[in-house]
Amino acid sequence: MKKILLLFSLIFAAVTAMAQAIDNLPIDKFGYPRDAAWESPVTKVHYLMQGIYDDSDGVRLCLVHNQRKCYGVVADAGDMELAKVVVTWVEPDKLWWTDPENPVILEVYGRDTPYTSVEDLADEATRGVKIGEVTSPGTVIEVTGGYSYVGLCKSMIDPKDDWEAELTAIEFYWSSSKEAMEDITVTNAAGIQLSESAKYAVIGTETYVISSATPDVTFTWSMGSQSGKGVGSAYVTVSEPGVLNISAEKDGFISRERTVEFAAGKVIKSIYDAWEAYPMPDAKEQNCGVAFPVDFDATVVYAADIPAGAVVIIYDGTDFSRIYWPMGKVDLAPGDVIAKGWYATFGMNHAWKNFLPVSPFTVASHDGEIPAPVVIGSEEALQAVEPGTPVVVKGVILSGPTSSEFYDGDEAFKQIQTKNSPVALVNAFGIASVDSARYDVYGVMDFYGYKRTNAPAVGPIDADFSHRRWRVAVTEFEVWKPTSPRPVFALANDSEVDSGEPIVITCQDEAATIMYSMDGENYSEYDAANPPVMPAEDVTVSAYSRQEGYHDSAVRRVSLRYSGKAGIADITLDPAGAAEYYDLTGRRVDSPKAGMYIRVQGGRATKVIL
């Protein structure tokens, strides 16, 4: 079982003195430029969040505090007290609005009355008392004072300071005299837990189990005109769209609430079904917002961890698509078959339509069939295949060593530089650097564009985009090798041939080994001194050549018709006479010259070369 890990889950931890609960803020929901309100379903703490969310290099939050604006967080925790704040900084090589040489200071303030806005932190008269701080790259802000009303922002040392605090995660640790209750889980009949970040498709009637790892919790639920209650667990049957409201209570524990939204959905039995059900034609980036069961097996074509998460190219036997999730990691290989039954939403990013998993999935086998790569010799040939199709561009000469740095943008100077590639190449999977040389470049058809309008068609055309680029996302550089020359048959296609006549095959490169097959049987090595012969029936002969340091040649075929006559096989042998010679059609030759003949002597027929 391979599970998709969601970074922004809400987690709990118990400590010896007081119970402690942790809110991992959903920083992709920060408001800009105004406050965004969010109430934690774990702690019931009410947050106002203001900042710039940017996922170009992974999830990023910018907190700015100066004379003109304040980006930060304020919280109202009721009867709980802030114990500490833990932050994660953007990696130094991905900073955009921060000078790595000048550390950034984050400060935490507390006051006795609730904050009305994040802007309260911009004014010394309203920000309250400073109760903790940390200087990058430090991550833990220990606080004092036992405050329930708190704020987090960047320090204002210099009023002209415009640098920002760029973060990928913010965690608030709260202390309470009550213990923390474990998550409320909602599980379907297949054992899949529903995510808190998605609404789910209603397809028929299904019963769900409400539970928690904390024992003996009393659950109360309602949905439309239905309601129910249970201790330890509760059951609810869903057959139409609506919102399931759940509350969980237990003496001595912080109570919890959860909602699950159900929406009308469709059965998705193929990639094409998803395209038709969720066309998303008008926007650069959209998400259908409904988690549906994926009811088809998908073969992994390629899988890679990338800075923004993970991406998997999949194939359902007809079409290609992508599985994508931010901040996830994968342990998949080409040929793995992902079994049907997992849940996903369907979203569009730069015109790619992605399956966005919201549940674990299972690898059923490792023997999925991947189509052979399509040879690409022009941009027109690339445009003719479906995005995600395995492709190969042969004999590409690199202008210099490649970079291992991930890049999937549209700036030509950051793409892979070559001397002769007919199409653009990008390192969209962050594969290892290779030296300048000649390669066969393997990859998948990829494109970059905006405003796709042709859904559910499979590829971009002129009318579909205001901006578009076709390219190959590279998966492997294979050192280029020449191709062995194709074999040649002495007999022409559709020739009428007597039984017993030798089927002569040659190759212009004498070092090559010729492999042949009769009517689709297994290939055998061709022996010029003992060639195959025409049977007493029509036959199709296939042949290719191979040799060390070369690619195998293409297969050449010839179809031969049986003449109904016997050839060499019916020559009458003189058991003790002088040697007699026959040509390869069975005609006697009195004065043989240089060439191949059948010599009959002493009751035996032997092929000889004179």
Instruction: Encode pLDDT of 390-442 as tens digits.
Output: 999 999 999 999 999 988 777 778 899 999 999 999 999 999 999 999 999 99
Question: Which residues make beta-bridge pairs with 43?
Answer: none
448: its two tokens: 């970059």
Domain at 184-264, CATH class: mainly beta
Burial class, 532, CB count within 10 angstroms (exposed 0-12 / middle 13-18 / buried 19+): middle
Q: What is the CATH number of domain 271-365?
A: 2.40.50.140
Interior angle at CA 255, CA 250 and CA 261, nearest 5:
120
Q: What is the CATH number of domain 19-176?
A: 2.60.120
Residue ranges per structural domain of the chain: 19-176, 184-264, 271-365, 374-479, 488-568, 571-609
For the chain, state the CA radius of gyration: 35
| Confidence band, pLDDT 50/70/90 cuts, at residue 371 | very high
Question: Which residues make beta-bridge pairs with 518?
Answer: 541
Please report the pLDDT score of residue 92 as a whole number.
77
Between CA 147 and CA 78 the distance in angstroms is: 10
* Residue that wins the pLDDT comparison between 398 and 254: 398
Between CA 344 and CA 289 the distance in angstroms is: 9
Between CA 428 and CA 495 the distance in angstroms is: 52
Q: What is the CATH number of domain 488-568?
A: 2.60.40.10
Between CA 374 and CA 369 the distance in angstroms is: 15
| Confidence band, pLDDT 50/70/90 cuts, at residue 90 | confident
CB 384 within 8 A of CB 377: no
Between CA 43 and CA 38 the distance in angstroms is: 12
- In this chain, the answer to whether the domains covering 184-264 and 271-365 adopt an identical fold is no
Instruction: Encode pLDDT of 261-304 as tens digits.
Output: 999 888 899 998 988 887 665 544 466 778 999 999 999 999 99
CB 321 within 8 A of CB 274: yes
* Residue that wins the pLDDT comparison between 584 and 80: 80
